Chain A
């Protein structure tokens, strides 16, 4: 992989392609060496893309998770190489995707999905909008929780009861979301969301030479793994 590249230089489609080829390759082999090499290549890719601390923290969580998965399988008397193999697979697939998500703005991912993968814009819009509202609603859920605790709400020790009690938090949030959805729909209409004009996308999705090279390299690795291992 060329050294001078950083995350802004790869098009989102390229990263998507990398994630898919890595996953397909991992899926199609049970050879532990091949899997180890794939995982190694992914680590290099992660280093090159420079996703910062978030990326590495996520990868380490996934690594722990993979070890646990292997442990569970050993408990069920699965052969060692199979257990390690599926832990590798899980790790490779999850990391490939995580690299994409951690190093690419959602606006760029959705632009790529619409322009290059032909996803209708309505759905791409929903993806970015969901992610935009998550932090706000998280804050709101805290406020609702506080408001309810001031009326004597406190989670019960009984786990089943806890879930039922939790409706106290969920209901106000869902009700508010439903009332809000009308304002949001009106606002979208006013902002030309369903207009007939051809839409512009500000996010960069264009592929350049290096993107094609990376994709070819990936395809090559993927085919090699599928064919020879």
Chain B
């Protein structure tokens, strides 16, 4: 269980990026965090990753307080951030340095095959397309088998087709070990296609605005009417989150409830 308790962040320059964000996230759950720019979504993700300290509140994973990067928490950034001097295989095995060579080799080979890049093992990162590079980044993050995988707008730099392809691929990989996924995105479609719950944030300072449960069976049909309904719902929440006249409430809602718009 990943617990965020009143997490707040004020940067040294005085910017109040995040305020009293609380959420409990069950193992294996997929959470999408969505919101306008400056709503603190990346700040929140970095606090969960242990890359930045929260100014107030706490992040705990199975009762262990997270203050620095943790073995059970992996992260995928917006850019692949592959190490250009390592081959694709070496990049994927980067986090496995503690393993004996044979075990590492086996894990890397399996991961390469799993993301469909077995033929690129010896390639340099510069020889990969954007989508392939992000696949390698996903494999690198998943290969140490984290319990929580954080994704910071992982597909936003990719074209629409590659993005869709990788979203499906991510779900496929998630099904292997079912880690908790927390995905920061600004793509409503992506949030609805992937997440069990969408957390809508509002900016200045970043706060949780509304929580929308997406109880749609997987695989989700992007063209179905129900899918559209959920998308509209998230969009409406986003619009309301930017409207300063709307009071700051945390609505819990699910598909069965009355459609208030």
B is a partner of A: no
- Residues of chain B touching chain A, judged by Cβ–Cβ distance below 8 Å, are none
Residues of chain A whose beta carbon lies under 8 Å from any beta carbon of chain B: none
